[in-house]
Amino acid sequence: MENSFIQKLKANEWNEIIEDTEYHKGNWFIIRDTGSWWLVGTTLNPRVFDVPEPAEYLTQWTVNLIEHLCKMEDNKHK
């Protein structure tokens, strides 16, 4: 069974590239790093931020944070 973080990513239109490892949404991506950390990046900046795998009650908040960070990074390059 998928964990709730992965379910929230998919519900927010993130596409699974490699199961439980890599997800893309447009030019944004997250890739599982070591253990429970995820690398957040864009095509213009492959390492925007690192986020921990969230606890159950923080899954939507974490997805929102990832998308906010990616939007801010996109805005830097406009």
**pLDDT category of residue 2 using cuts at 50, 70 and 90:** low
Percentage of the chain exceeding pLDDT 90: 90
pLDDT number for residue 77:
84
The enclosing H or E element of 70 equals helix 59-76
Q: How far is CA 70 from CA 1, 2, 52, 56, 58, in A?
A: 28, 24, 16, 22, 18
**Mean pLDDT computed over every residue of the chain:** 94
Q: In the predicted model, is pLDDT for residue 70 greater than 90?
A: yes
| Closest-CA residue to 23 (of 10, 36, 35) | 10
Long-range interactions of 18-23: CB distance < 8 A, separation 24+:
none
Q: In the predicted model, is pLDDT for residue 1 greater than 80?
A: no
pLDDT number for residue 60:
96
